[in-house]
Structure 1
Amino acid sequence: MTLVDGFDPSDVRVGIIGLGGIGHHHAERLESLGADLVGGMDVDAEARERFVGRFDAHAFEDAGELFDLVDAVFITTPNRFHEDYAVSALEWGLDVLLEKPLAHTLESARRIADAARDAEGFCMVGFNNRFAAPVEVLKHYQDQGRFGEVTHVEANYVRRRGVPGRGSWFTSKEVSGGGSLIDIGVHAIDLALHFLDFPEVVEVSGVARSEFGGRDDYTYIDMWGEDSGPEDFDVDDSVSAFVRTAGGKTISLEAAWATNRPANNDFFVRGTEAGARFDRATDELTLFENGVGGGHHLTDTAVDTREVDTHRAEQATFLEAVAAGEPPGRNTIDEALSVQRVIDGIYRSTEAGRAVRLDE
């Protein structure tokens, strides 16, 4: 990751809304970049105390107090509260980096997008996996035409056992908006659409299942967060879906917190001239090509890249845009809204028991 010449991250005054685990994760990387981390906000007093004890920054109970002191905010709250804080920050004239997903419902996501379009500042959405070095290389080759026309992406984000704390907000539909689909499937959908250059999505067919999280005998080795049991688990823990876009481009999706199969974080990009496999878990990138020179042949090429802290790279792009006074041109609100429409379509398809149209 290279910062733009003349750009000093300390010139940007930043605040964080939501001081849980992901808020601390962002704060640590802001520190490493040298940004001016002014403070954070959380309604929970213990969260504010932990934040002040860890970082050289203030903590507030009221967002307005923080808004008065900063140029930009990171919003890392549970999904249900994205809209309130994002809209308020945009109306305040601030630039916003909003953690994925855009919101807990499509209606809420649309309201955020409307506010962003009317705002002086901009809203960038935190799909950090786009900043992985192999993804950047793959997109470079794609833009060069190396793959021909990319027509299909197989997107996988599957854990064998990985429910993120039963009884937490992650497993409450009221707060999160969903389960494995909206938590990790959202990353897979975003990358797949990114590799297809975000065409219009016309139809979605999918099934979101809940087969493990609601069981007393849910077996796991470890769990992120505490396990409070199945009583309040009311979200999906796996999803299978197929997405059709304008022009006949397609996506097949497998995402899961828990399944009886090996974990898988592979993406297969299939083009008319070549293809690629990207493993997000290991950052391995392989190109699949062919030729007739000297005889018909197939070539598999491994691509090695430098390791990149994707959240830190995402932050650098955001801070540079804030300093320049111009939207970053990537991870846009409209792209995030397209992802949200697919998520909503999969949930609606599950309820309807059939494919649903998104272009009507």
Structure 2
Amino acid sequence: MLKTVLIGAGGIAWKHCEALRKLGVELSGIYDVNPVNAGRLAEAFGCPVVSDPVHAIAGADMVHILTPPSKRWEYVECALAYKKHIFMEKPVAISLEDAQRMELAAKAVPVQFMVGFTQRFRKGYRIIREWLDQGRLGDVVQAYCFRIGPGPGFGGKLNDSWRTAEGYVCGMTIESLSHDIDFLQSLAGRVIQAEGFVKGTVASLPQFDNNVNAALRFEGGGIGSITASWSSHIAFNAKGIIGTRGSVMLKGEDIWDSTCLTAKFEDGTSVCESLDDIFQEGEGYLEENRHFITCIEKNIPVGCDITVGREVLAISRKILDSSIRGR
């Protein structure tokens, strides 16, 4: 039985614990700088709280790094020193320098280093990926994500989120948009140009952005767009591909809802299907952890590694930088 130690016991850690338990992975320990958070999670899943993360990492087969993105390098460095497999939540870091340092260090160690881009493991994504591989959609003309709803900073107020906490501040463009960037880039091809505008609504925290409009250009010639907001009173989600031979859209009535699949193809056929895919119930977390474990056991490369994570962060930084230049 594989053993993992969890570093970070916030909300996302509960999803991973549920997934890992279903997959038969032993939770050998949970560490968090807030021992109360670690204690709650450990009690719920019947595993120990650890006070020394270095010792815990040394005794495990792998480590799940689930801390805020500004606090990860020391745990990555430790895991690589002990040659432990790493699963790390996205985004990989806040600074591109940290991401590059992780990528360089990982190249010297023969371990799996997976970044948790959960959207790749949802049913709708897998269907679109299959249709692209089969050629049913043709070449990508345009790819888009439109995702809005109340979130951190809604109503101009700070809420109970690490994203707006002192020392951890991480706005939408780096944190949440990483899902959309990876979704589009992994389907439509490598992003070669990215520009955008961002806006924050929390006057007391001007460095925190919670609204983004971005334009992308893909290596294959297609274009893309991302509209995202944590300030909207209305929640809605739509993402899709417009191709030369067909078009597909995933949509739902919530910021993470992608349960309605609609597609039309040049041969006149169409699809309108309701998917059993409730993101909050954790299926994406289950499938991404299953993929991670399979890659460890079979010694095959993970689908989204630290290089992918660094590339996604670089695109987020380009969007932020272009917004600053445009002001």
Aligned to 2:182: 190
Tell me which of 315, 319, 323 is aligned to 1:342.
315
CA RMSD in angstroms, aligned pairs only: 2.0
Equivalent-residue separation in structure 1 for 2:162 and 2:224 (angstroms): 29
TM-score normalised by L of structure 1: 0.82
- After the TM superposition, which of the residue ranges 313-322 and 24-33 deviates more from structure 2? 24-33
* Deviations 1:108-160 (CA, angstroms, capped at 9, x unpaired): 1111111221112121000111111121111111101111111310112211x
Change (3 A) 1:42 1:257: same
TM-score normalised by L of structure 2: 0.89
- After the TM superposition, which of the residue ranges 24-33 and 63-72 deviates more from structure 2? 24-33
Equivalent-residue separation in structure 2 for 1:167 and 1:302 (angstroms): 38
Equivalent-residue separation in structure 2 for 1:316 and 1:244 (angstroms): 32
Counterpart of 1:234 in 2: which secondary structure? coil
Counterpart of 2:265 in 1: which secondary structure? strand
Tell me which of 288, 295, 307 is aligned to 1:321.
295
Equivalent-residue separation in structure 2 for 1:265 and 1:113 (angstroms): 32
- Aligned-residue sequence identity (percent) comes to 26
Equivalent-residue separation in structure 2 for 1:163 and 1:96 (angstroms): 28
Q: How far apart are residue 232 of structure 1 and its match? A: 4.6
- The AA in structure 1 aligned to 2:296 is V
Aligned to 1:162: 151
Aligned to 2:230: 257
Q: Where does 1:149-298 land on structure 2 (aligned, <5 Å)?
A: 149-159=139-149, 161-163=150-152, 166=159, 168-172=161-165, 174-176=167-169, 178-196=170-188, 198-199=189-190, 201-210=191-200, 212-214=201-203, 231-232=204-205, 234-259=207-232, 262-279=234-251, 281-291=257-267, 298=268
Q: How far apart are residue 167 of structure 1 and its match? A: 6.0
- After the TM superposition, which of the residue ranges 304-313 and 119-128 deviates more from structure 2? 304-313
Aligned residues: 315
Tell me which of 58, 62, 85 is aligned to 1:72.
62
Tell me which of 105, 115, 124 is aligned to 1:115.
105
* Deviations 1:240-291 (CA, angstroms, capped at 9, x unpaired): 010123242221110111136x322211201111110012514221112234
Q: How far apart are residue 304 of structure 1 and its match? A: 4.6
Report whether the alignment pairs 1:31 with 2:4.
Answer: no
Tell me which of 30, 35, 38 is aligned to 1:45.
35
Q: How far apart are residue 104 of structure 1 and its match? A: 1.2
Structure 2: gaps (5+ residues) = none
C-alpha contact (below 8 Å) 2:121/2:287 kept by paired residues? yes
C-alpha contact (below 8 Å) 2:112/2:295 kept by paired residues? no
Report whether the alignment pairs 1:302 with 2:272.
Answer: yes
C-alpha contact (below 8 Å) 1:72/1:322 kept by paired residues? no
Counterpart of 1:343 in 2: which secondary structure? helix
Which structure has the bigger radius of gyration? 1
* Deviations 1:208-266 (CA, angstroms, capped at 9, x unpaired): 101x333xxxxxxxxxxxxxxxx456300100010123242221110111136x32221
Change (3 A) 1:342 1:39: same
Q: How far apart are residue 172 of structure 1 and its match? A: 4.6
- The AA in structure 1 aligned to 2:241 is V
C-alpha contact (below 8 Å) 2:57/2:78 kept by paired residues? no
Counterpart of 1:285 in 2: which secondary structure? strand
- The AA in structure 2 aligned to 1:31 is R
Equivalent-residue separation in structure 2 for 1:25 and 1:301 (angstroms): 31
C-alpha contact (below 8 Å) 1:90/1:122 kept by paired residues? no
Structure 1: gaps (5+ residues) = 1-10, 215-230, 292-297, 355-360
Aligned to 2:94: 104
Equivalent-residue separation in structure 1 for 2:324 and 2:166 (angstroms): 15
